[in-house]
Amino acid sequence: MRFALLSIVNLRDVPFISLLIYQTDEQGISNLIGEISKPYDDVIDLLDDLYAYEINELQTDSQVLYRELMSSQYLVIYRREVEGTREIITCNEEMLVELFELDKQDDQPTPVIPTWRMWCIDKLEKVIQILKTKGLKLDDN
Mean per-residue pLDDT over the chain, rounded: 87
Average pLDDT over residues 27-54: 92
Evaluate whether residue 89 is within a structural domain: yes
Q: Is residue 112 part of a domain?
A: no
CA diameter of the chain: 102
pTM comes to 0.69
Domain assignment present for residue 141? The answer is no
Phi, psi of 12 (to 5 degrees): 55, 45
What lies within 8 Å, CB to CB, of 24 at 6+ separation is 1, 2, 3, 30, 31
Task: Count up the domains in the chain and report the number.
Answer: 1
18-29 pLDDT, tens digit per residue, is 999 999 999 999
pLDDT digits (tens, 9 = 90+) for 59-97: 999 999 999 998 888 889 999 888 888 998 889 999 999
Domain boundaries, position 49? 2-106
pLDDT at 102: 84
